[in-house]
Amino acid sequence: MSPDRPQFTIRRYLPADLVRLHGIDRSCFPPAIAYSLGELRFYLAGRKAVGLVAEILHQIAGFAVGRCEENSVAHVITLDVVPEARRQGIGKALMDALHEEFDRQGVTAVILEVSVENLEARRFYEKLGYRAANLLRGYYNGEVDAYRMIRPGTAAGDRKGR
């Protein structure tokens, strides 16, 4: 990280963060795609949920939410970084921390969905090892298509040969 950029830290989500995370989500996505407060609370409250928060100078600059699903598969629910904090490595650090947590839980694959219109995000996820698996027509409110992308978890390699 360059010296002119503030350092950031990654920590676990706290329930007191919810309203701020909701505001960030609404700034990152169009109203028809952004999560409602209740939806975000639901995804963060689950027993198998993983919520991570990035802070710069004690201000939340981004967050990631994921959860472990059935059959050792994890799902990235959302990755949000405030526009003014982008391109500082925060998104990658959040995803790396999310992947580490999934690996600790024995995940063999991670999935996520991304709009076909969001080329920047698709390229970002490809750099992290995700590959488009299938097209989901009308995924966002029946209007915008998405790709389901998949990344093998490191636990997948651990289980080969057993």
Task: Work out whether the CA dihedral 151, 44, 31, 97 comes out positive or negative.
Answer: negative
Active site amino acids: 113, 125
CB distance 117 to 129 below 8 Å: no
In this structure, the number of other CB atoms found within 10 A of the CB of residue 1 comes to: 10
Round to whole Å and give the CA distance between 137 and 18.
Answer: 30
Q: Rounded to whole angstroms, what are the CA distances from 9 to 52, 53, 60, 137?
A: 10, 8, 10, 37
CB distance 62 to 54 below 8 Å: yes
Task: Specify which residues 112 forms β-bridges with.
Answer: 149
